[in-house]
Amino acid sequence: MSYYFAIVGTQDNPLFEYEFGTSKQGGDGQSRFTEQVRHLNQFILHSSLDIAEEVQWSHGQIGRGLTGGGSRNGRYLKCIDKFFNNYISCFVTGGNVKFLLLHQPTTPTSTASSRSSTAIGANPTSPATEEAIKMFFMEVYDNWVKAIMNPFYKANMEVRSPIFRARVAAAGRKYL
């Protein structure tokens, strides 16, 4: 399981990006994107922005359709897009900054993963995966609010703090 996480500002400008792999099921936390597709991640992720915008405003309707309840967190949009084997989950902050997570399950043909089909990530749209990603997003959001409360931070500025990066990495290790 490989992940590519990006924070996109209100002008559709990237503010932060981070690539990592799963640490669950004995994963080593390294991403397994092949060289041919790695550079496509950014395209895939940003191409889902249109859908994210559509979903964020028509949220009530779509929310009821999928899960049949109003108990969802209003900012977590769950899995919104799919491009071949790449799934994209989205989270919108109050200030309309979007957290996008691209997750690519390891292809089931590999021998090791055939036994672990219940693991987080093997089934990208299962409730367990959605919950894990939600926890990840909430933790990142926690740190994100702290980052933008910095008096020197202006809206839509790139976040370069190595501490923020380390915190995102820790959240990834913890939940994904």
Partner 1 sequence: MSSLPSSASTGKESGLRVPSNGKTIYHRPINRTKTSELSQASFAFLFSEMVAYAQKRVKGIQELEHKLNVQGHSIGIKLLDLLLYREPARTQLRPQNIVALLHFIKQNVWLHLFGRQADRLEKSTDAEKPDEYMIIDNEPLVNQYISVPREMSQLNCAAFVAGVVEGVCDGADFPARVTAHTVGEGEMWPGKTVFLVKFRSEVVEREAFLAKS
Site residues, partner 1 (CB under 8 A): 10, 56-61, 73-75, 92-96, 141-155, 159-164, 167
Question: Smallest distance, Å, CB 90 to partner 1?
Answer: 13
Specify burial of residue 73 (Cβ count, 10 A radius: 0-12, 13-18, 19+): exposed
Question: Smallest distance, Å, CB 131 to partner 1?
Answer: 14
Q: Which is nearer to partner 1, 57 or 84 (CB)?
A: 57
Q: How far is CA 125 from CA 13, 19, 24, 144, in A?
A: 27, 20, 17, 25
Supply 87's token pair.
Answer: 């799934």
User: CB-based contacts of 139: which residues, under 8 Å, 6+ apart?
Assistant: 167, 171, 174, 175
Question: Smallest distance, Å, CB 36 to partner 1?
Answer: 30
Question: Smallest distance, Å, CB 42 to partner 1?
Answer: 22
Triad 124, 127, 133: Cα angle to 5° = 65
By the 8 A CB rule, do 141 and 148 touch?
Answer: no
Q: Which is nearer to partner 1, 39 or 154 (CB)?
A: 154
Q: Which is nearer to partner 1, 160 or 174 (CB)?
A: 160
User: CB-based contacts of 47: which residues, under 8 Å, 6+ apart?
Assistant: 81, 83
Question: Smallest distance, Å, CB 132 to partner 1?
Answer: 17
Q: Which is nearer to partner 1, 37 or 139 (CB)?
A: 139
Q: Which is nearer to partner 1, 128 or 155 (CB)?
A: 155
